Structure 1
């Protein structure tokens, strides 16, 4: 599983993630209550549990930047997206709990 994820997914440091996420689709795959507790500025909340039903909200022709609390759910989300034909998949190293940039709380 780990090696498969490494093949389909590019893990980015926080700095690399910051450089590219404004030009991409930033998706937070955590549940809504976690998202409301704080999320990266500009992120859309599409929980992993709803991803299959909400695929139309994600454009396959643009890079997709994923993150969750750690990296488990964003890795699973990447596998699902890859199976649906998405190519440019990126993940935040260490997940949201390691993020030091601006966040928004509801």
Structure 2
């Protein structure tokens, strides 16, 4: 199967988030316990199983970036959103682990 979403590197996401007018929907698809423990600043938590219900609230024209622990489940969620008509979906390569090991701020 062809990959229909893009991957975004931690450094690229970090610099995009520094722009206050970034228009990025950053979504943590991990379960609430993990998301509460540590997350990327500005992310909203939408557990993967709730994505079909919550995607109505997303702006299709915005860049949507999904992440999980290491990027595997979020890749599945990206494929789902892409198949549902979202054109600008990115998976954070390496997930929150990659963000954390880059030494970037955590919420």
Q: TM-score range by the shorter chain?
A: 0.7 to 0.9
- Of residues 11, 17, 21 in structure 1, which corresponds to 2:7? 11
- Secondary structure of the residue aligned to 1:19 is helix
Shift of 1:82: 0.8
- Secondary structure of the residue aligned to 1:65 is strand
In 2, the alpha carbon distance for the partners of 1:54 and 1:18 equals: 24
Q: Deviations over 1:56-101 (max 9, x none)?
A: 1211111101111011111111111111100011121111011131
Number of paired residues? 100
Structure 2 residue ranges without an equivalent (≥5): none
In 2, the alpha carbon distance for the partners of 1:30 and 1:12 equals: 18
| TM-score, scaled relative to structure 2 | 0.86
**Structure 1 segments of 4 or more deviating over 4 A?**
none
1:1-106 alignment, distance < 5 Å: 1=1, 4-5=2-3, 8-21=4-17, 23=22, 24-99=24-99, 100-104=103-107
Q: CA RMSD in A?
A: 1.3
- Secondary structure of the residue aligned to 1:90 is strand
Structure 1 residue ranges without an equivalent (≥5): none
